[in-house]
Structure 1
Amino acid sequence: MQAFQCTHLGPPDELELNTLPDPTPAAGEVIIEVHAAPLNFPDVLMIEGKYQMRPELPFTPGAEVAGIVTAVGEGVTHLKVGDRVASFVQLGGFAQQAVAPANATFPLPNGVDFAEGAALPLAYGTSAHALLDRAELKAGQTLLVLGAAGGVGLAAVQIGKALGARVIAAASTDEKLELCRQNGADDTINYSTQDLRSALKELTGGKGPDVIYDPVGGKLAEPAFRSIAWGGKYLVVGFAEGEIPALPLNLALLKGASIVGVFWGEFAKRDPKKNLANLHQLLTWMGEGKVKPYISARYALADVPQALKDMAGRKVTGKAVIEPQR
């Protein structure tokens, strides 16, 4: 099979497209013929050695896949050869075949496109865990989503609406905000041209958002947290801007607010049954038309370096996917 490998840390152009032996499953694993593998911002950080997880070299990036099961390892009973599935593989997605843990792999309904299904495990899994488990978001509450046009951001917008919240989407361009409105956002803030705190004060009548979903970090974190409602929850999802913010803890005291970490990968590992329950809820919402991953770009396997450069350059909205069988 063909797969892109990171043989040394560096930029996307230095990844190598190599021919590797076809994989075989160990106990508790399945082999998936990969039809779609979404890009995620950690893919860019990982190949440059800037992510918290540093795999042993060489490795194949790509954290999630969708495709067809071609082999089943010992002890796997809920999946069989020929099943259409999606999975969180952590590594190995940018390849024609991937090894997947069976407990992180779930069947896809026939009507679900592989690219849309592949976006569920990480982006939608993260946002579902954040809003269902960590924030316990309720109908009628106000949710602020920063970086709302990205993969996890749009997922949070859609899930927030599915839960009955009022959703304020914040992003850096009017074009991105229009995409957020098309995906259910009630109100929008362009934080390149508007003052975030003033806009939030106006939109919420001075109350502030009950829940803040922040996958961006950097300079937006403090003004967002200063705007949070009394008793609010600030979800620390990631640091796409690159800078890890240092929040003044007196703000948490003054607002009676909580700073809540969201580490979906560790959650999925520690509580796979709850994670699968969240994914089944997502599939239910998808069937009801409440959740639909937005696929902005599709790339062939040979285009992985360019796709990662587009991701690093903030040119990707929603989800972009690699389609290795093209």
Structure 2
Amino acid sequence: MQALALENSKDYSSLALKQVEIPEPKIGEVLIKIEKAPIYNSDILSIHTKPSRKSSAYLIPGIEGTGTVIKSGGGIKSWFLIGKKISFLQLDDTYAGSWAEYTVCNSKWCKPIEDNKNSSRILIYSSFLAKMAIDTARKNNYSGIILTNADTITGKILLKLALSCKIKCICIVEEKSQKIELKQIGANSVLRPSKNNFNSKLKKLCDDVGPLCTFNVSGGKLISYIVPIIPLESEIYIIDNDSDSQLSGINPSDLIFGGKKIKGLDLQRWLKGLSMRQRLSHLEDIFNEKEIFQINDFDYFSFSDFKNGIINCLHSNSKRQSILNINHIIEESKENENSEEIKQESAEKEEIPEKEEIKENEIEESKEECEINNEKEEEDEAEKEEQAYLESEIQNSESRTVTKLLQSLPKFEWDYQLGDGIETKEMPLKQLPDLSIYRGEWANGSLHGKGTRYYTDGSIYIGYWQNGQSNGKGLFINSDGEWYEGMWKESKFNGFGKHLSQEGQYYEGIFENNFIQSGSEVTFDGNKYEGNFINNEWSGFGSLTIRETEMKYEGEFVKGNISGKGKLFYKDGKVFEGEFEWFNATGTMTYPDGTKFEGKINDCKECGEGKLITADGEVKTGLWKEGQLVKWIEDNKEETENKEEQKEENAEESKQEQEVESKQEQEVESTDKEAAHDQETGSKDNAEQSKPESSEDTSKVNEEESAQTIENSQEAQDAEIKEENKSTE
């Protein structure tokens, strides 16, 4: 057969038509006579990066094609495809590619198609790229996407798929004509970096759309325009690339300081992560939803003109699809030369493998039965693969924390009865819409009865279900280490249960709507509360045991704090009863010997002034600090009383002295006034006399008055000195 191949080279320019052997299919494989094969950039890239598609000594590119199955290697599904026109995807590098007259392919990657032009217009590879992008956006809860190079084949398929999934899409293109085309498809937002308002418009759209990511198709420089504008921590996914186009113009600071990430999405890895049933479901969607996946932008090239086909692929920037029209390249001379070979292949097509030992005339008679068996085998195979895939997904999502807790906790006992009388049926593993995996019983299309649910973050629920919700007895373990075992109602803690929170608190008691109502709590530091709760906080009457001090409080709580009347029991037998605000209180302490303390405690210790009442009734007042008696206030009582009496006596004496001093001052003042008056009177008498007295008489009178004044003054001084001495004594 002829094939486009190269020998030990990584340069696509060395591709040439070679004569190679026709491969033989094995069990589960089919031999395909190829009619058309797309030329993708990824095909050319694979020559440089993954040159492993070998037929004999040659490397044959090509990841997709259409053709007719002419031979089976064995197996009902492979046999069922004989004579049918199919599209196939060649992702396994161990097979030769599609750029040849014939190739072998695994039957699970073959999709029977209608023998018309429309079926040939479906590109599986580009369609799967779009499917992968939307699946990534959904799993990461993005409400919108930015699509660069949206005018490419893959870009337009992705745009239509996003619109059908109600995902908002911001398209980035370079030319005005491309903008018009995308608007016709249904795009609401199409931007061109060459416009002056590009930055402001893109920023506003990003703010309006909400959480979004970027898908870059075919590489190029467009991505460099959006990296500085998109929100911090944004992710950019590369889903396809031109062989000669590199990412350029990106500032590393946006990645380092902006937390923005650029990732590559590998289609082969994504497909391997799907179950057989999921892959088949995607294939069905691709061929059934033609308005999304069918394209019309084709350029056909014969085998002999393959170089122009490759050049067209590279220069069209993935905007038109180059197709190798392989069934037109066989020249007439070649057809004659290979006529015997073709006849032989046709005969092989009609032959039935010897191991199946079915005669040709029996095929028609049992065709319907075989089709039924084939469908059943397909379903069984798909089911088997899906179960294996789901088992691997459970193992991949296992959390060490959850595994350790499962090993440390008592084994869950299936000893509860729903009692609703609904008949349940055990079903195999099934993946639910939130991507969690369920193993257990079903009823009326819902989780019902016994079952285990494995969540994508590693969390697990083991227990009973009713109408799709956790009801009855169950155990839930979170990947963060939180767990609850007990009764459930409508997927909430309801009834008796045990709960360890993420913060380390352990609750045990009666729950309602995920909150404990009454029971006990052991805090992360070992303290234990028993009593009533409101919103998971200690409220009402309860008791609190302090692990470190072995003290216990019984009384009132408000919003998680000790507040109100209560009793505090000490390790040494003391009991304090009173009005509490945390561990500060006013009340009475009773000691083991019957002695009582009336006063205050601060941080559980006696403090301030208080009374100590002995068992005999003796009362003493003292001063306490940090639980220790500083002094007795009664020991200094007599001294205090004496001091008070002395103060009173001193005050009285001072008062008397002030009164005496005031009286003396008044007497002196009165004497001075009398002397002045007498002097004034004598002057008047002398004036009235006609003859003045002799100087001798006048002098005598003056001497007598002066002596009297001196005497009065001396008496006053003596009295004053006497008073001072008395005061000094």
Match of 1:292 among 291, 294, 302: 294
Tell me if the contact between 1:213 and 1:236 (Cα under 8 Å) persists in the aligned partners. yes
The one of 142, 147, 150 equivalent to 1:148 is 150
- The SS at the match of 1:279 is helix
**Structure 2 counterpart SS, 1:234:** strand
1:248 lines up with 2:251 in the alignment: no
Matches within 5 A, 1:163-178: 163-178=165-180
* Aligned residue identity for 1:221: I
Evaluate the alpha carbon distance shift between residue 192 and residue 135 of structure 1 in structure 2; reply closer, same or farther with a 3 A threshold.
same
Q: Structure 1 residue 277 and structure 2 residue 281: aligned?
A: yes
* Stretch moving more, 316-325 or 63-72: 316-325
Deviation at 1:5, TM superposition (A): 0.5
> CA shift at 1:32, angstroms?
1.7
Distance in 1 (CA, whole Å) between partners of 2:279 and 2:175 is 33
Query: What are the Cα deviations for residues 38-75 of structure 1, in whole angstroms up to 9, with x where unaligned?
Result: 1111222233x2x3x23266211111011211112223
Alignment deviations for residues 160-214 of structure 1 (CA, whole Å, 9 cap, x no partner): 1221223332223233333333433223223456675444125456656723211
Aligned length: 314
Q: Deviations over 1:62-108 (max 9, x none)?
A: 11011211112223516421222111114511112222121222222
Is the aligned partner of 1:28 residue 2:28?
A: yes
Matches within 5 A, 1:197-236: 197-204=199-206, 210-217=212-219, 219-228=221-230, 233-236=235-238
- Contact 2:152-2:317 within 8 A present in 1 as well: no
Q: Larger Rg: 1 or 2?
A: 2
| Separation in 2, partners of 1:9, 1:305 | 16
Q: Is 1:102 aligned to 2:103, yes or no?
A: no
Paired amino acid for 1:89: Q
Superposed, 1:94-133 pairs within 5 Å as 94-110=99-115, 113-117=118-122, 119-120=123-124, 122-131=125-134, 133=135
Q: 1:162/1:291 Cα in 2 relative to 1: closer, same or farther (>3 Å)?
A: farther
**2: distance between equivalents of 1:325 and 1:250?**
55
1:278 CA displacement: 1.6
Q: Which runs of 5+ in 2 are unaligned?
A: 329-729
Aligned equivalent of 1:87: 88
What is the alpha-carbon distance in structure 2 between the residues aligned to residue 158 and residue 236 of structure 1? 19
Q: Displacement, 1:319?
A: 2.4
Give the whole-Å Cα distance in 2 for the aligned partners of 1:61 and 1:196: 40
**Aligned with 1:45: secondary structure?**
helix
Q: Give me the CA root mean square deviation.
A: 3.2
CA 1:303–1:193 in structure 2 vs 1: closer, same or farther (change >3 Å)? farther
Change (3 A) 1:34 1:174: farther
Counterpart for residue 15 of structure 1: 15
Which amino acid counterpart does residue 83 of structure 1 have in structure 2?
Answer: K
Conserved 8 A contact 1:35-1:114: no
Paired with 1:58 and 1:195, the residues of 2 have a C-alpha distance of: 53
Structure 1 partner of 2:62: 62
For residues 274-297 of structure 1, give each alpha carbon's deviation from its aligned partner in whole angstroms, at most 9, with x where no partner exists.
Answer: 2222222222322xx233223331
C-alpha spacing 1:259/1:169, structure 2 compared with 1 (3 Å): same
Deviations 1:261-319 (A, max 9, x none): 42111222343522222222222322xx2332233312222222111112222354142
Change in Cα spacing, 1:191 to 1:298, as seen in structure 2 (3 Å) is farther
Corresponding residue SS for 1:290 = helix
Q: Which moved more, 1:276-285 or 1:265-274?
A: 265-274
Matches of 2:140 and 2:322, distance apart in 1: 30
Rate the CA distance shift 1:161–1:206 in 2: closer, same or farther, 3 A: closer
- 8 Å CA contact 2:86, 2:110 repeated in 1: yes
Residue 294 to residue 233, structure 1, CA distance change in 2 (3 Å): farther
- Secondary structure at the counterpart of residue 248 of structure 1: helix
Residue by residue, what CA displacement relative to the aligned partner does 1:119-159 show, whole Å, maximum 9, x if unpaired?
Answer: 12x1111110221x211189993322112222322221121
The question of whether the paired residues in 2 share the 8 Å contact of 1:215 and 1:239 is answered with yes
Structure 2 length-normalised TM: 0.39
Is 1:76–1:102's contact at 8 Å kept on the other side of the alignment? Answer: no
Consecutive unaligned residues of structure 1, counting only runs of 5 or more, are none
Query: 1 CA distance for matches of 2:132 and 2:236?
Result: 14
Cα separation, 2, equivalents of 1:105 and 1:72: 12
Cα separation, partners in 2 of 1:22 and 1:54, compared to 1, 3 Å: closer
Question: Structure 1 stretch 214-223 or stretch 69-78: which is displaced more?
Answer: 214-223
Q: Percent identity?
A: 18
Give the structure with the larger strand fraction. 2
SS of the equivalent of 2:289 reads helix
Distance in 1, matches of 2:189 and 2:201, equals 10
The DSSP-based 3-state class of the residue aligned with 2:105 is strand
CA contact (8 A) 2:142 2:213 kept: no
Please say if 1:263 is aligned against 2:266: yes
Does the CA-based 8 Å contact 2:30-2:106 persist in structure 1?
yes
- SS of residue matched to 2:70: strand
Look up the equivalent residue of 2:105 and give its one-letter code.
Answer: A
